[in-house]
Amino acid sequence: MTEKDQRAGDRRGSVFEVGITTLRLGLTSFGGPVAHLGYFYEEYVKRKKWIDDKTYADLVALCQFLPGPASSQIGIGIGLMRAGLWRALAAWLGFTLPSAVALSLVAVWLQHASLGEAGWMHGLLLAAVAVVAQAVWEMARKFAAGRLEATLAVAAAIAALLMPGHGAKWR
């Protein structure tokens, strides 16, 4: 990170700046928590330079360890690091509110709708898979840059895919 980038990252953001940034992400970030990590990386590390690669990787590792949705925790953490507690609240509201409102509206709509074949739903699922694949690829290139890290990541992915039940409790 250059000195200019460091100075830009040290500048405290306003509630409005953090809120608008996260609201835009909340309105456009489809694909679930894994995809959100890719969107966050692009926005906060590459575009705005609010944090550097190492800080982002450390935050992702911490939030993956904690219970709950990692993407929400990362967004809140970046808001907190960027500008303090009130900006963390703005980050949470900006990112979470659009999906909460949309989910509520869809739930009301589904009570009265006939889905038929729902081909559009299949299309949305395919788009989400593409977004997740892109995010995973970008993060893998950045965070598993060495041969050892890449080998461990591939081995872990293969092991996860070969486990029966895909998320079933261990017996």
Tens of pLDDT, residue by residue over 81-139, are: 887 888 888 888 988 898 889 888 988 887 777 766 667 777 877 887 787 777 777 77
Spatial distance between the Cα atoms of 59 and 45, rounded to a whole number of angstroms:
12
**How many angstroms separate the first and last alpha carbons of the chain?**
47
Domain ranges of the chain: 3-117
Measured CA to CA, the distance from residue 60 to residue 65 in angstroms comes to 9
pTM for the whole thing? 0.62
Contact 84, 49 (CB under 8 A): no
Instruction: Give the CB-side neighbour count of residue 70, counting CA atoms within 13 A.
Output: 19
CA pair distance 6, 1, nearest whole angstrom: 6
Query: Rounded distance, CA 16 to CA 158, Å?
Result: 43
pLDDT of residue 47: 92
For residue 9, what pLDDT is reported? 46
